[in-house]
Structure 1
Amino acid sequence: MAASPSTARVINDRLALGLLQREGPLTASQLKTLTGLSRPTVADLVERLQDSGLVRVVGETGDRRRGPNARLYGIAADRAHLAALDVRTHSVSVVVADLLGTTLAEATAPIGSETATEAAVEQAVALLERTAREAGAEPLHSVGVGAPGLVDPVSGELRETTGLPAWHRRLVAALQERLPATVLVENETNLAALAEQRLGAARGQDTFVLLWLGLGVGAAVVLDGKLRKGASGGAGEIGFLPVPGTARLPSAAGCEGGFHSLAGSAAVAELAAAYGVSAAAGPQEPPATALVRAAVADVRSAAPGGRPASGRPASGRQDAAGAFLDALADRLAIGTAAVSAVLDPGRIVLAGEVGHAGGAALAARVEDRLALMSPLRTEVRAGTLGGAAVLRGALLTAREAAQDELFTP
């Protein structure tokens, strides 16, 4: 059955907007070539999109020819403003952007562990409002929020999770109350996977698993191009995975004894101490991050014959760092082998602060060990977006929500 004229117009408009978003400003002639539509149809849709405020003339071609230069049409980036929040246990980061995703302003603020719930919520909301105001981006159209913990797949709300601050759950409601914006919340690991798929180490992959290594461990599962959240939103809670090498089994009340006890930040720090690896962590940084980063640096660049402050020969420090990374890779291979056996993802991305610190050196070690444990070929790659992955994923979510609404007449 042929599409009705109104349906055809919607399809054509979305097609043109998608091209303008991906390719940048285009002439009507270029839109005609790329869409395959007739010249009158392109002229009509350009006029419609200009009338709606979504598209405007942003320049002219520089071609030398008889007659006037062709007009360049582009998406009106200021048609809507977006924001993203990365909510951590002791801090919150904010980025404000336009409809094309261009960053207009960003800010980060610590939130102390002793801060009362309402005061913490007020600090986070005020940071967002101030950043948007200073960027000239009020009112906000859509806000994406990335946070640790489970998000209910039915209600879309952040579920109460033991060990996480109460202000996390109150923040989403406060944003909805204070802002005339659509507020979308998602687990931080899932958002990091979205960002790595669109912009980073999983680009072009429709099936992969992102392993988050930070204070705790988690995973995001993408199968056949779709993020899989599970019946209760708990898909990827790999910290609870029973594994060998721990003193006990995990329970419904806590993940101690599961994979968390091998790969969580505290466990990695203990492993580093056992190999004599030490490093000072930065503010709000998981202890394991600095240790892994220092070990990678020692393995790569310790000068033979040099002597660190401790007096140990650089070669000895390098050996210790290499042995620590090998032992950490052994642990990570246990969890990734289970993931590989069940899901056959083809690629596993190591993300989070610790995964980013380990980089290609740690990823290669894990891949080598995984190849010995599983008959299923699985690449292991380090995430490329680092600490920006959650914010980038949250901004992509906000941007898609805004475009879904604005691009549909």
Structure 2
Amino acid sequence: MNKIFKLSWPVMAGMILQSLLATVDMIFVGRLGTSQLAGVGIATSALTVIFVLSTLVSSGVIALVSRYFGEGNLEEVKKISGQAYIMSLVIGSICSILCCIYAKQVLKVLFNPDLTTLKYAYEFSVIVFSGTVLVFVSSTMRTIIQALGDTKTPLYIFGLANILNIILDLILIYKCDLGVRGAAIATLTSTIFSFILINIIVIKKLYEGKISIFVKSLKISTNISRRILKIGSWACIKELARPFTGMLMVSLVYYVGKEAGSAAFSAGQQVLNYTFIFLNGLSISISILVGQNIGSNNIDECYKIVKSGLKLAIINMAVFAIPYFIFPGEIMAIFTNDAEVISTGISYLRIVYVGVIFVVFSIILGGVFQGSGDTLPPMISSIVANVVLKLPLAYLFAINLNMGTNGVWLAVSLSVIIEAAMIIYYFKKDKWKEKVI
């Protein structure tokens, strides 16, 4: 348990800062008006889906780097890291260009917002989209450092970037009177800042501080690329399932709940993010430890790690149940004074959290599959729960049964329970520990 916490607390602290940043952004934007809050909310939903594509590379990296590091093969770690850098740079550049060109069309097709909401969504997304390539590369570099067992350095880097973002928010949104554009520029600037720092640290830590050694590692290897993509593709599809369906859910929420429903959904998601901080930190540390222990052929230790992780995760869910069920109104009032938004948000927190309690299994056991490189089972579980079942259930409950936004919240809750049941089934089959990567 000590090993898990030693690796996970910096990740958790970093996620707390990231969540605080997102929350502060939403609070600042919410003070501008409901349309601005709804616009940034749907833009953020689209951005989340695009940024998840970075896992196509980073998910493969964490499995390969942690396993070779466990074996003591640093030369292979350098080769994989160099190839991963090239891949994230290329994929990120393509996404940046396409997203900037088609941002408005994507927002129209997916969300069909009114002209005012679309205006704010476009203002925010097109600026942030320009930094997509930096997000992709930074994500890969952060994963490499974490896979080596250093989770503190990314905390310092991205923590400083988040503080910079908040300061710039205050200046650009209010002092410079740039509104939503100011929030976007602040986000882009902090992204550039973290990109520069994380690259410096990786070169220093892994390549002896010599750019020449780093450049030599930037060689195209079809074999390494294939191995990274073999692991990362399933993980990417799995990671895409939830935000992609979430994006479609935002569209459905906007249809049945208009601006108030969309604003409540955006604010509620920001609140629930705090629940996942501890869980995601545990998942990352479990991925690293499982990968390293499989590399050193210590399978028994993997089971001990899982048992400890589940205990910590369950405690986390019990703690967060208190504010979400007892004080949801006070929590939503932090974002807005609109009575309809607050009322809708209260229902969101209470209904969704009933299912979210079971997410401990999806996240903790998902970390095991990630670390072992066996990313297919979590992908299947996520696709079935989030795409095959959640979307149809949401439309059935919200529209056919006339439950409105509460129907969407219920569908979300049920999908989490279904995904948890499936991943438990796959974990008990024990095939993850024999995965060859």
Q: If the length of structure 2 is used for normalisation, what is the TM-score?
A: 0.25
Max Rg structure: 1
Tell me which protein shows more strand as a share of its residues. Answer: 1
Higher relative contact order (CA 8 A, sep 6+): 2
Higher helix share: 2
What's the TM-score, normalizing by structure 1?
A: 0.26
